[in-house]
Amino acid sequence: MLDRLEELYAVGGGVGANRVGGSDGEDRAHELAAGWMQEAGLEVEVDDAGNLIGRTADAAVWTGSHLDSVPGGGKFDGALGVVAAIEAVERVGKGAAVVFRDEERGCVGSTAFVEGGDLPAGFLEVHIEQGPVLERAGVPLGLAQGIVGIVRGERIFEGKAGHAGTVPMEGRTDALVAAAEYILRVRDLAAGVDGAVGTVGQLYVEPGAANVIPGRVRVSVDLRAPDRERLDRLVAALEVEPDFRLEPVPMAERPVTALREELEGRGLPLVELPSGAGHDAAILAAAGVPTAMLFVRSLNGGVSHSPEEESSAEDVELAVDVLAAALKRLT
């Protein structure tokens, strides 16, 4: 499995993981995974959305993740869940391993999958935590309580462009100043809602010259909260028109219990935490598939979407043992 992670990490070249959704790198990663599925004796197919599926004859319960990455991403994000799925299904001899397309840009493959209507009886996803909670607690694995809701949109601020040297400060209508005040509002309002976060990650300034007062600014807004009420409160207060929305979803009792009992049987401390990141698991859970997620401790302070992303070989091995045992219980 560690060799496979290294092989995937090298796809695309450059610093970090470079397998952006729809790229040749993502295609090559899917080809590698298809080969590993065949080696595991699985029946391999690709659906209309490009999702890769390796299944046994008894494939009611599925497990998997994604192989696309952000530019310059980490070794474990998504990829760990894929190699773990193939290994677990091979060990158990039942189930299906799935690789969803283009997760990072909005869970494209898993959304198409559930819209196709061919839903499994259960889904398990192994994923690195992408945060510091498990590392701080000294615990190798954790369970997802649920997956936060996400709203993405943008705000546009109109001003009046002018010469940076000849227009007096008094009377200026600087679009970037208005945008800056809004960005502080995003920070302050999100900080005032328990469990919520708000981020402005992109600014587009027009005309974009050093000696011109900004006349128009477009900013991205990413809002996340554990439940719909808190998410809606933020969206309304910040006047965001969503162009992407993912509702908060809980995990299902039966698959969560299977994972929990495997952790308890190994004498591991039980840590349950919300997922602040979106996952393919959220798409399946929202569609009614009984779903659970197993988090693997992220090291280096929980950094993710970065070449510094790290998890230990011991934690990875333990995660696959727990996944395979839970899959066996559920099948």
**What pLDDT score does 103 carry?**
96
Q: In the CATH scheme, what is the code of domain 2-148+248-330? A: 3.40.630.10
User: What local confidence, expressed as pLDDT, does residue 193 receive?
Assistant: 95
Please tell me if the domain spanning 2-148+248-330 has the same topology as the one spanning 149-245.
no
Res 216: pLDDT: 98
Q: What is the pLDDT of residue 242?
A: 94
Distance CA 26, CA 67 (A): 6
Pair 263, 141: CB distance under 8 Å: yes
- Domain spans, the chain: 2-148+248-330, 149-245
Please, are residues 87 and 324 in contact by the beta-carbon 8 Å criterion?
yes
Mean pLDDT, each 10-residue run in order, the chain (331 residues): 97 94 97 98 97 96 98 97 98 98 94 92 97 96 93 97 97 97 98 95 97 98 95 96 91 98 97 88 95 98 96 98 98 93
pLDDT at 277: 83
Place of tokens 């819209």: 115
Q: Do 223 and 234 touch, CB atoms closer than 8 A?
A: yes
Per-position b or e across 227-263, b if 16+ CB within 10 A of its CB: beebbebbbebbebeeeeebebbebbeebbebbbebb
pTM: 0.86
Which residues are 173's β-sheet partners? none
Query: Whose CA is closest to 11, among 64, 62, 63, 82?
Result: 82
Could you name the CATH architecture of 149-245?
A: 2-Layer Sandwich (3.30)
**DSSP letter assigned to residue 300:** G
